[in-house]
Amino acid sequence: MVRPATYGFGSTSVERRQLATLDRPERIQAFLDGIPYSTDHFYRAPRSVLRDRRAHCFDGALFAAAALWRAGFPPRVVDLRAVRDDDHVIAVFRRGRHLGAVAKSNMTGLRWREPIHRSLRELVLSYFDDYFSVEGRRTLRSYSRPLDLRSMPFDWTTCDERLDEVADRLDALPHRALLTPAMVHRLVPVDRRSFDAGMLGADDAGLYHPPR
């Protein structure tokens, strides 16, 4: 089993006890679902998420990646890029030949994905209908290749101060477009029931409100 043996996350007895049950992707998702969505404008490393019991989508993706790493999966995250909306970051994992994802979100439809997707594009497209702005427009446009966090030159599992480097690395990766301009032009607004369902329980302070 792959372990982050040289990293600090899970190195204390308290952390080991807290992480002992997070041995499967489903349990990692349940942990993230059980903590509040953070509206703070700073990043928390996985250790800080475990301590503070709160996370936004970037924090949640890194926490999931770290927990997945401890459970034997490569720690990989993917950036979903949007227009007039926040980007979203997910931690991806593979079971057999199929991909799934663990994620933290302020919106109901942008979290867990079952490992049933045959490609990364297929996985990302499963987020499309649920990825919409406060204006009721579907905003997902492209996605990055997976970033293996083992490539980062510092302990991203414990170091809050350098997480901008992870965000910058993700942002700099090539992103693949999901839609053609003609497809974008024909997109219809999100219907009221879908909008209300997607926003159920959302903290308005954590939503992106585009400039008029």
Using the predicted structure, report yes or no on whether residue 5 has a pLDDT greater than 60.
no
**114 vs 98: CA distance, rounded Å:** 9
In a 3-state reduction of DSSP, which class is residue 37?
strand
Architecture category of domain 13-201 in CATH: Roll (3.10)
**4 vs 97: CA distance, rounded Å:** 24
Residue 3 or 83, more confident: 83
**68 vs 62: CA distance, rounded Å:** 10
Does residue 189 contact residue 157 with C-beta atoms inside 8 Å?
no
Using the predicted structure, report yes or no on whether residue 4 has a pLDDT greater than 60.
no
| Domain range list for the chain | 13-201
Task: Give the angle 176-102-21 at the CA atoms, nearest 5°.
Answer: 155
**4 vs 103: CA distance, rounded Å:** 20
Mean pLDDT of the chain: 96
Using the predicted structure, report yes or no on whether residue 1 has a pLDDT greater than 50.
no
pLDDT digits (tens, 9 = 90+) for 14-42: 898 989 999 999 999 999 999 999 999 99
pLDDT digits (tens, 9 = 90+) for 51-76: 999 999 999 999 999 999 999 999 99
**100 vs 64: CA distance, rounded Å:** 12
Give the per-residue pLDDT at 11: 83
Residue with tokens 């700073």: 42
